[in-house]
Chains A and B, each alone.
Chain A
């Protein structure tokens, strides 16, 4: 977690920043004058907590999108680190290269071996570029599939953590079959013999997200979003302008609440007050029991049952009218 002085604030988090600044000032004064100001500081800290609560109570869809992209937000490797033990990262798709935007490996979750896979973003400018902003190339999806097949072979459940603004739209990605790679993953995930849980931990944009998003259970963290296109791109195509992203975010109904209402996800996982970026450990502790409990539940079924249920689950998605013939 970033130290208090290194925290970054979104525009609607300004009131918290002001409190932070005040706390910092009091701390400095206390240091200089050797006067005990801990009471005042504690009061301000309580106000911070209160503000964190207030802010998350009335988030617009666009603000949720902003929170999902918060520069201090924890990413896949952070969750793995906080939730699991004995994580051994595995690299490469055995074909072209290792895609740094997609990570994965075996780990233990409460003593049980699982395969953890997810898109990875970088925490600073240099790492963001290295991770390609969480936008995987076909190699990334093929690496993910390789790891899933490995898990299947050894009968280990799979947990995917989704956090991507989309699959990378580059020339080489097209040359190496971005569409095919995602299609193959979706198809193969549908048929995996082991339990699969998918969690949208940040951004869930389009095929790039679904490419590791087919599972027995799909969860979303409280401040994440999931839909077919980013609000920005949707604005540019449907409104012919980049200025309607807030409106697009609303129209797309991309929040966890909406997705849950629509029956497109199975559960919403709460985050620490104000968002996961306030407390990585707490964020992981809120997710972990949910995963453990769900794995237990999924283990009750045979692999054939799970696959059949998966096909039915996704098969029900959609809305249409049936007019009289």
Chain B
């Protein structure tokens, strides 16, 4: 392969622009199947940066690899719900058919098997991404067929014979993914006529648009619940010659997939929301930061953008207002949950490692490339567009006093009707469980691993900022599940996804997991439970960003709400059991020395 030439072409395509380093590395990865040291050196030379800078980026993101990932690179989702739906069997089938283990690539470099964090398909697990193509509801027979196609050198896209519903069938998507929209609400999933919001907005002053959003009490849907009107206000008040609107389409919290459905079916509503935000904060440019897992939607989104430009919803004279320019660029992530954190997202959008920034300064004063930026979730921006179209007063009639409007929920797990539900805030978990066919649940994980694990006795609790806030992930956990497996899987997730910048998150989470494993293995004591609590508190208190500040939640919220499970797992006859496993240690040592073990060694 004429590698030299390829990398030159890629560098030229991106104009040797440092802020496009992620795009450059992505192109190298897809051309060569990995990012070899020689490519790192060539990129570093061309961008006039050091090799560690390039390698730092190439080793940060999950979909870049420092060793050949396979001409067919299988990324099999490994979150807990995938496990519920038979992931283990599917993984075994891949290993058997491909004759290679997860974490490895076949000797001929043809097939690589990799585990990956939640890919946003929880309602159709087990699922995998192979060379950018999403495969859902995998079965052993399908795996067999897929691997045979790989060996025959076929294009993975050709294996998509039946497409999902709605726009998943469009020529530009052609994915087997289904929307599973179970309940449409009036804010996000109701029909929307392009122009309804922006044409109205531009007849007002930007201040009035912000005032209307403030009046609506719209709170950010990305998780933190920050008042959207206030965020826009802060942004516009930061003096600068440029402002940016960034839409957070990183949707990485395990169990959420509602943003994927919005992108598929309501992208025009989202983009119009971005235009409204752009008008309000005085931005000419918007960025959609799209997670790599959703790359299959990129062409579709570009197409929607183009159609909106033609209608002058965005672009020149946007919304029909002479002189108002607002356009949107799509920037791709490369596999990192932390890039959903807004300041890490901005770093990543600038082509760097997705490591959170210190705040203050907040993005509204120092954002993309240092300019004032409002970062908003997809659903927030959609709601903003709808508010402009229908009025803040109307919006406030939905939901509760403290949580106006509706919320999209991504429901998965042990329920009969997984999918997307647009419900009014204030809905109790009990009602929700009835709606989704999950009445016998022993627990509901609200807000993903970083949220709260609610037990059966508390199902009267309600979705909303005043009680159970959620970015939208709802995982129903049936009575037959082992809660320790759930917690363990979630801890694995945080350990994998920690950026590693700060000590408490980098080190503490694996220590927590080890302690949990001690308890799971029957060697725990009451003291280990109090250790879990205090270590968890240390990590939450001392960590630098929202990841570490919530990563102990799976343990802490189950310790609180499922205390009896922990108490029944630990020994009560002693308050100390050593973690040290003498037998294992002796075995390891004898393995090294080649010594044969006698019974005496075990005494």
A-B complex is real: no
Q: Which residues of B pack against A, CB within 8 Å?
A: none
